[in-house]
């Protein structure tokens, strides 16, 4: 009877998380172009996708925002999404969620082969719950899920997940495939080209994995022997992408900025301090969500033992302690690596959308630690119905909390609907003005307050003044556009 109740509780929490993700996907159907999108669209329209990739070398007025863009992978991604027109941004949220879930399912399935205390039956609940909490509690959900020019941070995570999945596939095969290493190289170089912050993050993670594989290889661990070449390939490809980003002509813009780069000597110390600040502020500002997240994975570990037909292996207490310490240490280092590029270039913490990488890393670390602690609870108090009933109750409460996320965020749908309707009206009017041969036109100004993204008209605080307005006008073939109230 307890098995059936436990299974039903897990099904319930999965259903609640899927509904929550479904709401975010449906909201995305009302997504449109904003800010940098217009400059990319202008280039794609006149130069094509491949021609726009040469924007790496653009200078002066022809360049995006007055300077070249070094994020070659973001240009390619935006170009692919531009090809189907407005449909490309309407399906963006669905694409991100599906890829994120699919990559996690693949990766966690491989890890369940390597780490037996994590069974395959826990793969789907873990993946769907993690993605749900990551998106709902992202420091900047709109930019990493809906804004085409801002999703390079979510695609950095997706690229990292698929890269880890390829590497873990090499670990579990009887014989590593050389062809897979070529795919690893291409994927690593592409993912590294999405942003400086993302590249530093992935490169740091790959280096830590390489160190672990080197130690494992010396100890004749089969997983390390099979995957060492692939991990080394990933490191070299990410290093190459970092060099390409560094030598970009776009880096000249930092010389004209009022904020001077930080000294290389203080970057590690500031990065570590900002990493600690982020973790502390996360627990302080989102204490309940983090508590629910940890409780879920601890309870899931307990219930997996109840649902297993035979007792699953558990980690020894001493080993479990080292796993917890190592996980916390690696999590802290990776969050510090995310801070480093912004610390150097701007002498400050990363913007919220970049901190989404930190939130994802922190949640992964908490999930691992919570699972290990749940396994130790089974080892210490296994067979006690009070522990099992508590786990069922916790999972049920987690399902209720997840369902509450859907209810509390359903109001966003109305905002997206209104703004999409105004956007479509404006688009139709400007296309008509273009067809009539007009050089100037009025455009509805759309309020994007709270989204952290600009409409087509902005203040002159950016490096090149009204660059969004200029790109917006040029995309529609007009000399100038005047904003009017809706």
Instruction: Answer whether residue 66 is part of any domain.
Output: no
C-beta separation of 118 from 370 below 8 A: no
The mean pLDDT of the chain is: 87
Instruction: Answer whether residue 463 is part of any domain.
Output: yes
| Contact residues for 260 (Cβ-Cβ < 8 A; gap 6+) | 347
Instruction: Answer whether residue 422 is part of any domain.
Output: yes
Instruction: Answer whether residue 462 is part of any domain.
Output: yes
Q: Give the bridge partners for 440, in sequence order.
A: 480
- Lowest mean pLDDT across 179-188, 208-217, 410-419, 438-447: 438-447
65: left (phi over 0), alpha (psi -120 to 50) or beta: left
Would the CA dihedral through 198, 199, 204, 207 be positive or negative?
Answer: positive
| Contact residues for 453 (Cβ-Cβ < 8 A; gap 6+) | 34, 35, 142, 143, 147, 150
C-beta separation of 129 from 17 below 8 A: yes
Tell me phi and psi for residue 484, to 5 degrees.
-130, 155
DSSP 255-304: GG-SSPPPPTTTHHHHHHHHHHHHHHHHHHHTHHHHHHHHHHHHHHHHHH
CA end-to-end span of the chain, whole Å? 60
- Lowest mean pLDDT across 241-245, 258-262, 281-285, 421-425: 258-262
Instruction: Answer whether residue 452 is part of any domain.
Output: yes
Instruction: State the DSSP code for 482.
Output: E
Say if residue 462's pLDDT is above 80: no
Its pTM stands at 0.92
Instruction: Answer whether residue 475 is part of any domain.
Output: yes
Tokens 């709109």 sit on residue = 142
Instruction: Answer whether residue 296 is part of any domain.
Output: no
Total structural domains in the chain? 1
pLDDT in tens, 158-189: 999 999 999 999 999 877 788 888 999 999 99
**Residue 478 lies in domain:** 413-484
Q: Give the bridge partners for 484, in sequence order.
A: 444
List C-alpha distances in Å: 452 to 140, 141, 185.
8, 10, 34
Instruction: Answer whether residue 195 is part of any domain.
Output: no
pLDDT in tens, 329-379: 999 999 999 999 888 877 888 899 999 999 999 999 999 999 999 988 877
**What's the CA angle centered on 195, arms 192 and 197, to 5 degrees?**
95
Cβ count within 10 A of residue 319: 11
Residues of the chain above pLDDT 90, percent: 56
């Amino acid at each position: 009877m307890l098995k059936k109740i436990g299974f039903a509780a897990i099904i319930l929490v999965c259903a609640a998380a899927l509904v929550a993700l479904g709401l975010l996907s449906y909201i995305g159907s009302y997504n449109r172009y904003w800010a940098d999108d217009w400059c990319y669209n202008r280039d794609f329209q006149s130069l094509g996708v491949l021609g726009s990739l040469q924007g790496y070398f653009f200078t002066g007025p022809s360049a995006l925002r007055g300077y070249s863009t070094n994020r070659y992978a973001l240009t390619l991604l935006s170009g692919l999404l531009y090809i189907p027109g407005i449909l490309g941004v309407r399906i963006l949220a669905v694409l991100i969620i599906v890829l994120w879930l699919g990559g996690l399912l693949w990766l966690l399935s491989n890890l369940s082969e390597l780490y037996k205390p994590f069974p395959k039956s826990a793969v789907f609940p873990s993946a769907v719950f993690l993605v749900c909490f990551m998106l709902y509690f992202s420091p900047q959900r709109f930019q990493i899920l809906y804004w085409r020019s801002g999703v390079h941070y979510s695609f950095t995570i997706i690229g990292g997940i698929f890269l880890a999945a390829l590497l873990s596939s090499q670990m579990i095969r009887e014989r590593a495939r050389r062809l897979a290493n070529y795919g690893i190289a291409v994927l690593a170089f592409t993912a590294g080209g999405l942003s400086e912050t993302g590249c530093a993050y992935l490169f740091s993670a790959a280096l830590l994995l390489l160190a672990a594989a080197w130690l494992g290889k010396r100890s004749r661990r089969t997983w390390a022997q099979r995957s060492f070449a692939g991990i080394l390939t990933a490191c070299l490809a990410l290093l190459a992408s970092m060099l390409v980003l560094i030598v970009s002509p776009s880096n000249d813009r930092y010389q004209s900025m009022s904020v001077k780069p930080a000294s290389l000597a203080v970057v590690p110390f500031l990065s570590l301090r900002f990493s600690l600040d982020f973790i502390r502020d996360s627990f302080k500002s989102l204490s309940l969500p983090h508590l629910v997240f940890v409780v879920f994975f601890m309870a899931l570990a307990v219930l997996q033992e109840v649902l297993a037909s035979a007792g699953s292996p558990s980690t020894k207490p001493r080993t479990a302690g080292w796993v917890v310490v190592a996980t916390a240490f690696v999590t802290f280092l990776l969050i510090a690596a995310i801070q480093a590029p912004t610390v150097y270039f701007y002498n400050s913490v990363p913007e919220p959308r970049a901190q989404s990488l930190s939130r994802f890393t922190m949640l992964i670390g908490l999930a691992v630690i919570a699972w290990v602690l749940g396994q130790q609870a089974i080892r210490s108090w296994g067979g006690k119905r009070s522990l099992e009933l508590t786990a069922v109750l916790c999972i049920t409460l987690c399902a209720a909390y997840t369902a509450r996320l859907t209810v509390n965020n359903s109001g966003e749908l109305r905002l997206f609907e209104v703004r999409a309707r105004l956007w479509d009206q404006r688009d139709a009017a400007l296309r008509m003005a273009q067809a009539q041969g007009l050089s100037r036109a009025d455009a509805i100004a759309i309020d994007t307050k709270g989204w952290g993204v600009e409409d087509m008209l902005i203040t002159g605080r950016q490096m090149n003044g009204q660059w969004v307005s200029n790109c917006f006008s040029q995309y529609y073939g007009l000399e100038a556009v005047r904003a009017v109230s809706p």
